[in-house]
């Protein structure tokens, strides 16, 4: 059953109600806290599931001119942050360290030398 969020106009508290699609709009909803029927539906954010390839494609569209980015550490860091944000998942600490070093102006070669345990050729098991 879907969960719907409500706010009570009487006590101003938020609560959730499980209602089937067929019951929605027909079933009287009462506040879970004060039992008032003077409630309103709270609109919540929605999430849209996207595939990894769709996220990467979207991120790539934000960087149409990627030529020369490998020679500009700050631009590379900016691109990596945006692509990391598009992935929508927690990224490892190593990612954040590399991006921070790029933002500080270190080149990719300097970062590789400073972080020898970093496997830059790791494809994530693919």
Confidence bin at 124 (pLDDT 50/70/90): very low
Q: How many Cβ atoms are within 10 Å of 99's Cβ, its own excluded?
A: 20
* Domain range list for the chain: 3-41, 52-114
Contacts for 23-30: CB closer than 8 Å, 24+ residues apart: 29/4
- Summarize pLDDT for 18-47 with one digit per residue, the tens: 988 888 888 899 999 999 999 999 887 666
d(CA 84, CA 102): 14
d(CA 84, CA 86): 5
Q: Which fold has domain 3-41?
A: Rubrerythrin, domain 2 (2.20.28)
pTM for this model (two decimals): 0.43
φ and ψ at 40, to 5 degrees? -135, 150
Q: How many Cβ atoms are within 10 Å of 33's Cβ, its own excluded?
A: 13
- Summarize pLDDT for 43-84 with one digit per residue, the tens: 876 666 677 677 667 666 666 555 666 678 888 887 788 777
Radius of gyration of the chain (CA): 24
């Amino acid at each position: 059953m879907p969960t719907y969020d409500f706010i009570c106009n009487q006590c101003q508290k938020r609560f959730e109600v499980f209602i089937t699609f067929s019951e929605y709009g027909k079933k009287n909803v009462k506040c879970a806290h004060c039992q008032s029927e003077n409630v309103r539906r709270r609109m919540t954010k929605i999430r849209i599931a996207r595939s990894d390839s769709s996220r990467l494609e979207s991120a790539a569209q934000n960087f149409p001119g990627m030529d020369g980015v490998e020679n500009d550490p700050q631009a590379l860091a900016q691109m990596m942050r945006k692509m990391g944000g598009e992935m929508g998942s927690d990224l490892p600490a190593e990612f954040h360290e590399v991006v921070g070093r790029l933002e500080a102006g270190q080149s990719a070669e300097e970062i590789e030398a400073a972080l020898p345990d970093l496997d830059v050729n790791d494809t994530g098991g693919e």
